Amino acid sequence: MKKKINIITILAACLSMTFSSCKMDLPNLNQPYGNEVPKTKDGIYALSVGLRTLYSTDVIAATYFYPAVTSRELKGVATFTNTLELEAGGTDLPTANGNILTYWSVNQKLMGMSETILANVSNIPTITGGTLSALIAHAKLYKAIALGNLATAFEQANIQTDLGGKAAFVPRQQVLETAIKLLNEAIQEIQTTPASSEFNSTIAGPNFNLTNVLYAFAARYSLMAGKYAEAYGLANKVDLTSKNQFQYTALAQNPLWHTTINLKYYVARENLGLPAGLFDADDKRIGFYTGLIKDVLSLKGFAQTQTGEVPVYLPDEMKLIKAEALLRNNGSLTQARDLINEVRTQTTGDLFNVNAGLPAYAGAVNKNDLLLEVYKQRCAELFMSGLRWEDSRRFDRPAPPQNTTERNRNFYPYPDQERIGNPNTPADPAI
């Protein structure tokens, strides 16, 4: 009973912050989470469950929606100033914007909770073996995700929280490399001592294979960091038959549904927000992800119900990572084309029913044309997953201020509250 009560307490604390994009009362955004150090097994378990809950609600809400507006996947239609500023982008997006603050703060909280677990879990004698290794790997996963999210949106970020609120900043490349290092360490933990059944039932829950998730995120961030051989190798280790997804309840609601269907803050842009030449009108993923609801083009896909599942990652992302890695590393053009076609021509069998149903690629088989095709497929396959903004930069797509059709900012400015409290905050990017 004690364990159950403690877990519920942590979950309630996490959920209290859910969807609070207008709140500005968040002091010391880069300090570790919580004032009490977990000194018991129950406390560590509760905080670990809280990690998953915080990420699957608050963090996904911030890191999927705000970049989706910036990368023109969605249109902000709420009358709140925060939403209107995000939609305008460019120099009209001020440092006082509440959505930027939320993006920054929820990832700092995720990082701090992870660090608290890592600093204390090995000191509890009742946590041993595969439970200990999995808890360590699980915390490193979520710290890595927090770092990856920060590197997506900001030119620099901290890689460690600071009790005094004065964390040092490093360039985003170093942030990504730190995330990759954490994930590789986590993979080694699990390889040396596999996760226990206790961890899998109590912490991970159903449809969450920690090993596969670690490989998938390590592949993602390796690609972002320009480590193409590593990205290919890691993506190749992901079991594409393993379905990993987050579960939701009436209390911990699906954030995609809550923000678009329930609150109606955002609507989908036509053709997934892509300009002519970057989408195929016959692509079945357009109808999978978007559709009319009372004459409004809204999200469908994983946003349709309050308790519907959200994928941790999509299996076909791994195929596209391998294709891009091959191309950027001057690997086999035909192998890259074949991987692209596995995504393009799929009509059935996808674990999440994301099937393009397109004919095989018929364009030129050269590096530049195939890279463009990879980008097109990523835009459709990974719609509204927080990845297009980074993709837009990596593929050197049209950029502001000259062109805002595919993104209206290159990076976000740092939130005022961070700058006021932390003298190490760097200068804001021009746009």
Residues linked to residue 267 through DSSP beta bridges, in sequence order: 75
DSSP 32: P
pLDDT at position 370? 98
205 — pLDDT class (breaks 50, 70, 90)? confident
**Residues 169, 428 contacting (CB under 8 angstroms):** no
pLDDT higher than threshold 90 for residue 16: no
DSSP string, 187-201: HHHHHHSPPPHHHII
On whether residue 345 sits in a domain, the answer given is: yes
In a domain, 431, yes or no: no
List the domain range (segments joined by +) for residue 132: 2-32+40-421
Average pLDDT over every residue of 277-299: 96
Residue 428: inside a domain:
no
In a domain, 335, yes or no: yes
- Give the DSSP H/E element, type plus range, for residue 291: strand 290-293
Compare 394 and 27 and report the one with higher pLDDT. Answer: 394
Residue 28 predicted with pLDDT over 80: no
Is 286 a member of any domain? yes
Phi, psi (5° rounding) for residue 30?
-110, 30
Position 219, amino acid: A
The 10s digit of each residue's pLDDT in 384-429 is 999 999 999 999 999 999 999 999 999 999 999 999 999 999 999 9
Asked whether the predicted pLDDT for residue 4 surpasses 60, the reply is: no
Q: In Å, what is the CA distance from 426 to each residue of 154, 168, 238?
A: 10, 10, 37
Q: What is the pLDDT of residue 1?
A: 38
User: How do strand 290-293 and strand 74-76 relate by DSSP bridges?
Assistant: unpaired
What's the total number of domains in the chain? Answer: 1
Count of beta carbons in the 10 Å neighbourhood of residue 348: 7
pTM of this prediction?
0.93
Q: Is residue 429 part of a domain?
A: no
Mean pLDDT of 336-360: 98
Query: Would residue 119 count as lying in a domain?
Result: yes
Residue 300 lies in a domain: yes
CA separation for the pair 145, 189 (Å, rounded): 17
* Residue 24: pLDDT over 60: no
Give the CATH number for residue 356. 1.25.40.390
